[in-house]
Amino acid sequence: MIADEMYALAKRLWPINRSLTGDGVRQTLKILQCQLPELTMHEVPTHTKVFDWTVPREWRVRDAWIKTPRGERICEFQKNNLHLMGYSVPVRATLDWATLNEHLYSLPDQPTAIPYVTSYYQERWGFCLSHEQRNGLDRKGKYEVYIDAELFDGHLTYGDLIIPGRSSQEVLLSTYVCHPSMANNELSGPIVATFLARWLAATPNRRYTYRFVFIPETIGSIVYLSRHLDSLKSSVIAGFNISCVGDDRSYSYLPSRSGNTLSDRVALHVLKWIDPNFRRFSWLDRGSDERQYCAPGVDLPIASIMRTKYAEYPEYHTSLDSLERVVTPKGLFGGYEALRRALEAIEANVCAKVTVLGEPQLGKRGLYPTISTKETARNVRTMMNFLTYADGINSLLDIAELGNVPIWDLYEYVETFEKNGLITIESSNS
């Protein structure tokens, strides 16, 4: 059910022409606001200095196409926004094939795919098309090229959402809204983030405050950090960059720069129990906004839980990364569940301390089978492992790792043991 809702929302967002800036981002955020009324939209003016960067001009596209010598319109932006190179400058010209060809982008190795190409920081124009189509172009005659676009001083747009908890300590969830019509990278991120926010908002008695950030990649996280760095550095205790969470082919982990934050430990634990064959990447394989969140001097504890990682599947950054071909309801739900379990684990990661010396007598509390055979001895073991490691130093995550069980198997015991006075609880965020 959630799976289907997620997929339906993805379909709705699919055709929008998102980019670093522009109305596509605004339309996307407005649709998300229907799900998350508290989501706030922010506008940052072009030319604003942000750390080492400057907010670029806003890009607006109305139409774009090529007319062939035979009068056929191809590479129509209206039909597939990938046909137009991102941030293309306007052009209206008649060209021969050779000149046009310098502005065409295709993939010889994937002849049916339209590649995704952008030129944010160098003025260019270009069209992207399948290699098959390109090979079929007449080399004689004139081509008409039409790009009705403008680059102008406007704004960069992003959204954020705070879901407060008992503590002002925060968990940061960041995803991006700057990719045109591609599915795993990247409609899956904002979809999963949206449903995580819905789940959290509906979960009573949250321990931590949750901050969701919907931004354009790179420049967006740099903008966000430049505006909130000090407060994020003092309050964020864990978090995840959410990208490529929509296909059902694998699970993947990419660490924070240090590799040993709470986010890393939780991600590794959750993925190990969800899918023992999950793929473990290194910081050298990074490629999304963790590059900013974990930069030296920023040093936020942000790791990535993904399905199949960007640059690791053949459809990546092409028109083949579609809702029909790559992303599925099951894939989206799997990405959601992995992250939901990770957030749940962060919430549950208390520090328990057994209140008695020596092993507790479970029997007098009705927790122990009253006859000792080979059989019943095994049944008691799970409880006893919890209690033996509940030394007031180990966190629940430590106890789960030491006892070799998923942390969610322990949630009921935290409650039972605390009710029985067998443990006391302190909070922990390590």
Both tokens of 290, joined, read 């963790």
Q: Indicate which single residue of 121, 260, 325, 427 sits in contact with a second copy (rule: CB under 8 A).
A: 121
In the sheet where 351-354 sits, what is the strand order? 391-395, 351-354, 423-426
Stretch that binds a second copy, among 195-203, 209-217, 237-245, 389-397 (CB under 8 A): 389-397
Judged by CB under 8 A, the chain residues 177 through 196 that form the site for a second copy are: none
Among residues 27, 78, 80, 119, which is the contact residue for a second copy, using CB under 8 A?
119
Using the minimum distance from each CB to a second copy, give the nearer residue, 222 or 343: 222
Q: Choose between 39 and 178: whose C-beta lies nearer to a second copy.
A: 178
Q: Which is nearer to a second copy, 301 or 335 (CB)?
A: 301
Size of the site for a second copy (CB under 8 A): 61
Interaction with a second copy in 80-109: which residues (CB under 8 A)?
105
Residue from 92, 98, 108, 122 in contact with a second copy (CB under 8 A): 122
Residue type, 205: N
List the one residue from 97, 120, 146, 281 that touches a second copy (CB under 8 A): 120
Distance between CA atoms of residues 320 and 327, nearest Å: 11
Q: Which of 194, 325, 196 is nearest to 248 (CA)?
A: 325
Q: Residue 273: which of 406, 407, 412, 408 has the closest Cα?
A: 406
Per CB under 8 A, 49 contacts a second copy? no
* Phi, psi at 317, each rounded to 5°: 60, 35
274 CB contacts (<8 Å, ≥6 apart)? 251, 337, 338, 341
Nearer to a second copy, 163 or 300 (CB): 300
Options 166, 377, 409, 426; binder of a second copy; rule CB under 8 A:
377
Applying CB under 8 A, among 51, 146, 199, 408 the residue interacting with a second copy is 51
Q: Is 46 a binder of a second copy (CB under 8 A)?
A: no
SS3 of residue 147 by DSSP: strand
User: Which residue number, 199 or 368, has a Cβ lying nearer to a second copy?
Assistant: 368
Site for a second copy contains 21 (CB under 8 A) = no
Residue with tokens 């596209």: 61
Stretch binding a second copy (CB under 8 A), from 27-35, 91-99, 144-152, 288-296: 288-296
Question: Does 115 engage in binding with a second copy (CB under 8 A)?
Answer: yes
**Structural element, H or E, at residue 402:** helix 396-403
Nearest of 156, 250, 193, 219 to residue 10 by alpha carbon:
193
Q: Using only C-alpha atoms, what is the Rg of the chain?
A: 26
Task: Give the three-state DSSP class for 13.
Answer: helix
Using CB under 8 A, which of 17, 81, 88, 118 touches a second copy? 118
Q: Which is nearer to a second copy, 211 or 340 (CB)?
A: 211
Does 380 bind a second copy (CB under 8 A)? Our answer is no
Q: Name the 3-class secondary structure at 124.
A: strand
CB 238 within 8 A of CB 263: yes
Among 124, 207, 228, 249, binds a second copy (CB under 8 A): 124
Q: d(Cα 288, Cα 240) in Å, to the nearest integer?
A: 11
Q: Which residues contact 294 (CB under 8 A, 6 or more apart)?
A: 256, 257, 258, 283, 300, 302
Residues 212-241: x/- map of binding to a second copy (CB under 8 A)? Answer: ------x--xx--xx--x------------
Asked if 189 and 244 touch (Cβ cutoff 8 Å), the reply is: yes
Among 356, 379, 409, 426, binds a second copy (CB under 8 A): 356
In DSSP terms, which residues pair with 175 in a beta bridge?
A: 214, 242
The nearest distance, CB 122 to a second copy, in angstroms, is 3
**Would you say how long the chain is, in residues?**
430
CA nearest 113: which of 97, 89, 133?
133
| Binder of a second copy out of 18, 60, 155, 257 (CB under 8 A) | 257
Nearer to a second copy, 84 or 390 (CB): 390
Contact indicator for 215, 158 with CB cutoff of 8 Å: yes
Where do contacts with a second copy occur on this chain (CB under 8 A)?
Answer: 50-53, 105, 115, 117-122, 124, 218, 221-222, 225-226, 229, 257, 283-284, 286-287, 291-292, 294-298, 311, 317, 353-354, 356-361, 363-364, 368, 370-374, 377, 381, 384-385, 388-392, 402-404
